[in-house]
Chains A and B, each alone.
Chain A
Amino acid sequence: MANVGIVGIGHTKFGNSSEYDLSDVMAYAATDALEDAHFLARRKEVDQVVVGNMASGLFCHQSAVASALVSRMDMEPVPAELVENGPASGASAIKIGYMAVASGMADIVLVVGGEVMRKVTGWLGTDYVATMLHTDAEYNMGLTLPGFGGMFTRMYMERYGMTERDLALLAVKNHANGAKNKYAHIQAPCTIEAIADGPDASVVNTYVAEPLRMYSTCPVSDGAAALLLVNMDSPKAKDFPKKPIRIAGIASATDTHCVHNRKDPLMLNAVRISAEKAYAMASLKPSDISFAELHDAFSILEFAISEEVGFFERGKSFLAVRKGETNIDGKMPINTSGGLKSKGHPVGATGVSQAVELVRQLRGEAEKGRQVHNPKYGMSVNFGGFGNNVVALICAKE
């Protein structure tokens, strides 16, 4: 297989882009990535476009967005395909793009993840996202993703002794990072006193799905992110001025659609298996990773995923957070971008956005105050469904 590198990155500011067309939002990110790679003028030389998007048909009443993007970018006749894998659509698109390059079928692939969710109300948006759950056993029973997040959190708290204050500590960390990230939806720091300890905390940090509160749940965001992948072994790789960031490992796994069919609902098997496969592909182990972007749609997932990928013992990650080990200057910085909690979560964009953050950190291009010191390997985990489709990615600075 050919070595695959990332030579261009693009990202819109996450937030409210509901007045824009989805293909416009994705085109902004794609243009950004092509410019970063100094390849905008040669964009018709791209061999393949892969788009990650979860639900444009529902949110925007728009389908076939991959070919629409190519046309919007004036890139015809470049072939384009859409990848849909729930909130893991973005990383799945990267995986498909990676496979195209690694297999030799393409030398240059543009991967774009995007979602515009705020054209509909938050209530309707929550309903649309919930359509990824099992229709009869879950969705029709009224379950939503925040509902699952709440139940998962409650079970984790009871089993391991984590508290609501621990969730708030995570929010403080991620908001501090997001406040420094120019692409973040919510660039606003928060304090532990205000959202956990103070007399106004229960109202300021109100319940979303008990025991999950507003500061332990990601916002509903619009946005897009893009990567330009290149075959590092091809002569074409020399056309790009920036040193590629190599995709050292990428893998995905699937768990049961129904959460109740899992032996233990707290075990995120697809996370563990995808991470193990990515480590094996990269010939790395958890302790080699310099920093990580983990899918904290609900703060509890940052804890649980960080344990499944081997950064911490099971049930102990919140103790590491208490000690500041996941801060920018900690032993294992996590969600340096602000995570989904602060940076935002346009579902189809998230996996690509996480990869953009890996590249920014590995290039040393993150903003002052949130740049990890001399990172070598970055890892991301993009989590779809309630853990039934997961993609793990490891990027390396060469």
Chain B
Amino acid sequence: MALDAMEKTLRPPEIPLKPYPAKVITLASGEKMVVREAKREEVGALLGTLYPLFGVAKDFYDIVAVRMYSEILGWYRYRVANEFVLVGTVDGVIAGIVTSRHVTPKLGMSLHTLTIKRGYRVGAQLFAAKMENHLDILGEDEVYIVAESPNGFKRWMIEYELEDRSSLFPEVRHELGGVPTYVLTRPLWDAVRDVKCTGVRPVSAEDLKSSEKLIMPSEYPQIPGFKR
């Protein structure tokens, strides 16, 4: 097989995704976090941000960072279908990243949410943005969600009152292994959107510019003493 043909057979089929419109959220600190889609050329900064967290076992950062690393690498190298990556930045510095996948026009598959900046509900805001993209922008009916950490379980399963479909395993299963599958349905989203999801659009030119170049964090609260 010719090389180009081989590569073509290895790539997943793609469904064109509507772009996620950027928004800005004022965190409790008063800092502005721009939430926007990551671009392919920014993969280096994203992977470099994740790499130091591989050794942080606390709160399952290691598993989430490693898996997200592979998801973003897979996205960049065309080995994951219809993935999108959203990034939250404060003054350009990456505060958190979320990954997810559009499976069909009706179904989304939430992959991972990773927060670097702690204490300001950055993860909660980015997760909500991810759900907003699935249900309000891409128009899916429901999103499959799993949690790998107790914090994730509390934030998503309990706070969103997600529908537990774990009893339907293996017919209904999230693609991240056999972890019990929970589902955010449109009625559930409609019930919580106003209290979970926020952000102002359009983003001012100044704020957008601050987020134009992704900056890897120089310090991590998860890794005391770390300096980049």
Alpha-carbon distance A325/B115, docked complex (angstroms): 37
Residues in B whose Cβ lies below 8 Å from that of A205: 28
When C-beta atoms are compared, the residue in chain A nearest to B117 turns out to be A188
Closest to B23 in A: A200
A204 within 8 A of B: yes
- A204–B27 touching, CB < 8 Å: yes
Smallest beta-carbon distance B122→chain A, Å: 10
B28 engages A215 (CB within 8 Å): yes
Interface-side segment among A89-97, A106-114, A191-199? A191-199
Are B119 and A203 neighbours in the complex by a CB distance under 8 Å? no
Q: A103 in the interface, Cβ–Cβ < 8 Å?
A: no
A199 close to B198 (CB less than 8 A): yes
Which residue of B26, B158, B194, B195 is within 8 Å of A194 (Cβ)? B26
CB 8 Å contact bits of B126-151 with A (1 = contact, 0 = none): 00100000000000000000000010
CA distance A194 to B125 in the complex (A): 14
B198 contacts A203, C-beta separation under 8 Å: yes
Distance between Cα atoms of A2 and B43 in the complex (Å): 70
- Enumerate chain B residues within 8 angstroms of A191, measured Cβ to Cβ: 28-30
A175 to B210, CA, bound (A): 27
In the docked arrangement, what's the CA distance between A207 and B194, Å? 12
B154 at the interface (CB under 8 A from A): yes
Which of B25, B150, B154, B158 is the one whose CB lies under 8 Å from A200? B25
Whether a CB of chain A sits under 8 angstroms from the CB of B200 is yes
Which residues of B have CB within 8 Å of A190? 28-30
The answer, yes or no, to whether B47 is at the interface (CB within 8 Å) is: no
Which residue of chain A has the shortest Cβ distance to B121 in the bound complex? A204
Partner of B196, one of A121, A199, A203, A215: A203
Interface residue A186 (Cβ < 8 Å from any Cβ of B): yes
B176-199 interface code vs A (CB 8 A; 1 in, 0 out): 000000000000000000111111
Give complex CA distance A190, B120 in Å. 9
> Which residues of chain A are near B194, meaning CB under 8 Å?
202-203
Contact B198–A193 (Cβ < 8 Å): no
Q: Provide the bound-state CA to CA distance between A242 and B27, in Å.
A: 43
Known pairs A121-B154, A188-B119; A194 contacts B196 (CB<8 A): no
Whole-angstrom distance between the Cβ of A59 and the nearest chain B Cβ:
16
A202 touching B198 by the CB < 8 A rule?
yes
- The answer to whether B29 and A206 have CB atoms under 8 Å apart is no
**C-alpha spacing A206/B120, complex, angstroms:** 12
| A324 at the binding interface (Cβ < 8 Å) | no
Q: Type the 1/0 row for B54-92, where 1 means its CB is closer than 8 Å to any CB of A.
A: 000000000000000000000000000000000000000
Which chain B residue shows the least CB distance to A200?
B198
Encode contact with B along A78-108: 1 for CB under 8 Å, 0 otherwise.
Answer: 0000000000000000000000000000000
B119 touches A186 (CB 8 A): yes
Q: Of A122, A123, A194, which one neighbours B28 at CB under 8 angstroms? A: A194
- Write the chain A residue with the least CB distance to B120: A188
Q: Nearest-CB distance from B190 to chain A (Å)?
A: 16
Q: Which residues, 154 to 209 on A, are CB-close (under 8 Å) to B?
A: 186, 188-191, 193-195, 198-207
> Are the C-beta atoms of B26 and A204 separated by less than 8 Å?
yes
Query: In the complex, are the beta carbons of B26 and A188 less than 8 A apart?
Result: no
What's the least CB distance linking A177 to chain B, in Å? 15
Distance of A207 Cα from B195 Cα, bound (Å): 9
Q: Which residues of A contact B25 (CB under 8 A)?
A: 200, 204
A residues 336-362 near B (Cβ < 8 Å) are none
Those of A200-240 within 8 Å (CB) of chain B: 200-207, 215
Taking a contact as CB atoms under 8 Å apart, the answer to whether B29 and A188 are in contact is yes
Whether B30 lies near A206 (C-beta < 8 A) is no
Task: Give chain B residues whose Cβ lies under 8 Å from the Cβ of A203.
Answer: 125, 128, 194-198
Scoring A191, A200, A202 by chain B CB atoms within 10 A of each residue's CB, the highest score goes to: A200
Least CB distance from A339 to B in Å reads 16
Q: Which residues of B contact A122 (CB under 8 A)?
A: 154
Chain A's nearest CB lies how many Å from the CB of B33?
9
C-alpha spacing A186/B150, complex, angstroms: 20
Contact across chains for A193 and B199 when beta carbons are under 8 A apart? no
A200 in contact with B29 given A121-B154, A188-B120 (CB within 8 Å) = no
Closest to B159 in A: A206
Sampled A-B contacts (28; CB under 8 Å): A121-B154, A123-B154, A123-B158, A188-B28, A188-B29, A188-B120, A189-B29, A190-B28, A191-B29, A193-B30, A194-B26, A194-B28, A199-B26, A199-B198, A200-B25, A200-B26, A200-B199, A200-B200, A203-B195, A203-B196, A203-B197, A203-B198, A204-B25, A204-B26, A204-B121, A205-B28, A206-B195, A215-B28
Kindly list 19 other residue pairs between chains A and B, CB separation below 8 angstroms, not including A198-B26, A199-B26, A203-B198.
Answer: A122-B154, A123-B154, A188-B120, A190-B28, A191-B28, A193-B26, A193-B30, A194-B29, A200-B25, A200-B26, A200-B200, A201-B26, A202-B198, A203-B196, A204-B25, A204-B26, A205-B28, A206-B195, A207-B195
The 7 A-B pairs of least Cβ separation, nearest first, read A191-B30, A203-B198, A190-B28, A200-B198, A188-B119, A198-B26, A194-B26
Interfacial residues, chain A to chain B (CB-CB below 8 A)? 121-123, 186, 188-191, 193-195, 198-207, 215
